[in-house]
Structure 1
Amino acid sequence: MNAECIAIQPIQTPASRLGRFPLNQWYMAGFSTDLTDKPVGRTFLNQKVVLFRTGEGQVAALEDRCCHRSLPLSCGTVETSGVRCGYHGMLYAPNGTCIEIPGQERIPAKARVKTFHVAEKNHIVWIWMPKEEGGAPTVEAPDYRWHDDPRYKFGSGQYHYNAPWQLIHDNLLDLSHLGYVHLKTIGGNAKLHMSAKMNVTQEGDTVKVVRLMPGSTPPPTYKAAWPFGDTCDRWQEIEFELSHLKIWTGAVEPGTDAIDDPERGGFHMRGLHGITPETEESCHYFWSMSSTKHPDMPENIEAVIEQTAFTFDEDRVVIEEQYRNIQRFGGKPNWLDIHVDVGGNRARRIVERLIADSVDPQPA
Structure 2
Amino acid sequence: MTATACIPIQAQSAARAPDASRFPLDQWYVAGFSSELTDKPLARTFLGQKVVLFRTGEGQVAALEDRCCHRSLPLSCGTVEGGGVRCGYHGMLYAPSGQCIEIPGQERIPAKAKVKAYQVQEKNQIVWIWMPRIEGAEAGKAPPDYPYHDDPRYKFGSGNYHYNSPWQLIHDNLLDLSHLGYVHLQTIGGNARLHMNAEMKVTAEGDRVKVVRLMPGSTPPPTYKAAWPFGDKCDRWQEIEFDVSHLRIWTGALEPGTDAIDDPERGGFHMRGFHGITPETDDTCHYFWSMSSTKYPDMPDNIDAVIQQTAFTFDEDRLVIEAQYRNMLEFGERATWTDIHVDVGGNRARRIVSKLLEQQAQQAG
**TM-score range, shorter-chain basis?**
over 0.9
Partner residue in 2 for 1:89 = 91
Q: Which residue of 2 aligns with 1:329?
A: 331
CA shift in 2, pair 1:339/1:16, >3 Å: closer
Alignment correspondent of 1:100: 102
- d(CA) in 2 for partners of 1:361 and 1:121? 30
Partner in structure 2 of residue 345 of structure 1: 347
| 2:138 counterpart (125, 131, 136) | 136
Tell me, in whole angstroms, the C-alpha distance in 2 between the residues paired with 1:357 and 1:18: 15
Trace 1:192-341 onto structure 2 (pairs within 5 A): 192-330=194-332, 333-341=335-343
Contact 2:18 2:281 (8 Å CA) reproduced: no
Q: Look up the match of 1:17.
A: 19
Would you say the 8 A contact 2:18–2:282 is kept in 1? no
Task: State how far apart, in whole Å, the 2-side matches of 1:359 and 1:84 are.
Answer: 37
Residues 66, 73 of structure 1: 8 Å contact kept: yes
The residue aligned with 2:31 is: 29
How far apart, in 2, do the equivalents of 1:165 and 1:332 lie? 21
| Shift in alpha-carbon separation, 1:63–1:325, aligned structure 2, 3 A | same
What amino acid does structure 1 have at the position aligned with 2:265? E
Cα RMSD of the aligned pairs, angstroms, is: 1.7
Residue 359 of structure 1 and its aligned partner are, at CA, apart by 2.5
**Residue by residue, what CA displacement relative to the aligned partner does 1:120-165 show, whole Å, maximum 9, x if unpaired?**
0000000000111111100001110000111000000000000000
Indicate conservation of the 8 Å contact 2:203/2:211, yes or no: yes
Structure 2 CA distance for aligned equivalents of residues 361 and 220 of structure 1: 50
Give CA-to-partner distance per residue, 1:148-199, whole Å, 9 cap, x none: 1110000000000000000000000000000000000000000000000000
> Cα deviations across residues 289-332 of structure 1 (Å, max 9, x unaligned)?
00000001000000000000000000000000000000001167
3-state SS of paired residue (2:241): strand
Task: Provide the residue aligned with 1:182 in structure 2.
Answer: 184
Contact 1:90–1:102 (CA under 8 A) maintained in structure 2: yes
CA distance in 1, matches of 2:323, 2:34: 31
Partners of 2:265 and 2:19 in 1: CA distance: 46
Shift of 1:17: 2.7
Q: 1:214 to 1:8 in 2, by over 3 A?
A: farther
1:22–1:357 Cα contact (<8 Å) kept: no
C-alpha change, 1:362 and 1:285, in structure 2 (3 Å) is: closer
In the alignment, the residues of structure 2 paired with residue 339 and residue 253 of structure 1 have an alpha-carbon distance, to the nearest angstrom, of 29
Pick which of 298-307 and 353-362 moved more. 353-362
Does the CA-based 8 Å contact 1:21-1:358 persist in structure 2?
A: no
What are structure 1's unaligned runs of at least 5 residues?
Answer: none
Aligned to 1:155: 157
**Structure 2 counterpart SS, 1:248:** strand
Give the TM-score of the pair, scaled to structure 1: 0.96
Which residue of structure 2 lines up, in the alignment, with residue 5 of structure 1? 5
Query: How many residues are matched?
Result: 361
Give the 3 Å change call, closer, same or farther, for CA 71–281 of structure 1 in structure 2: same
Matched, 1:123 2:125: yes
Kept in 1, the 8 Å contact 2:18–2:47? The answer is no
Cα distance in 2, alignment partners of residues 90 and 257 from structure 1: 62
- Residue ranges of structure 2 left out of the alignment (5+ in a row): none
Q: What per-residue deviation string (whole Å, max 9, x for no partner) do you get for residues 250-281 of structure 1?
A: 00001101110000000000000000000000
The structure-2 alpha-carbon separation of the partners of 1:16 and 1:309, relative to structure 1 and needing over 3 Å to count, comes to closer
The amino acid across from 1:266 in the alignment is G
Partner in structure 1 of residue 58 of structure 2? 56
| Superposed displacement of residue 358, structure 1 | 2.3
Contact 1:161/1:285 (<8 A) preserved: yes
Q: Which residue identity is paired with 1:141? A: P
Percentage identity across paired residues of the two chains = 76
TM-score by length of 2: 0.96
Separation in 1, partners of 2:278, 2:308: 23
Superposition deviation, residue 19 in structure 1: 1.8
2: distance between equivalents of 1:263 and 1:169?
27
**Counterpart Cα distance in 1 of 2:246 and 2:311:** 18
| One-letter code aligned to 1:199 | K
